[in-house]
Amino acid sequence: MWKEVLSANYIDHYRLNVLFTDGIRRIMDFLPLIRKYPVYAPLKDVNVFKNFVVTDTLEWNDGAIDIAPEYIYEHGLSA
């Protein structure tokens, strides 16, 4: 089933509280992704990390960086 992000709020450090269109919330810690994948390296700057946009997913840097909503849904912790 296709998942879409409805909204997201910054919590602290590299964690976001993400609400999906089905009403499920997930707490996602992005630090492991930032450390592991070079595409997420610009997000090490927490000011850049905080500057996300919600489309049907989360995007940074005018869409140059994004993440599959299914990944957040499957790997995030229940809120």
Model pLDDT, residue 79: 85
Ranges in the chain, pLDDT < 70? 1
Q: How far is the C-alpha of 60 from the C-alpha of 40, rounded, in Å?
A: 10
Model pLDDT, residue 69: 97
Model pLDDT, residue 68: 96
| pLDDT tens track for 58-72 | 999 999 999 999 999
Averaged pLDDT of the chain: 96
Cα–Cα distances (Å) from 31 to 3, 23, 60, in that order, read: 22, 25, 15
Q: What is the pTM of this model?
A: 0.94
**Domain 5-78 grouped into CATH 3.30.2020.10:** yes
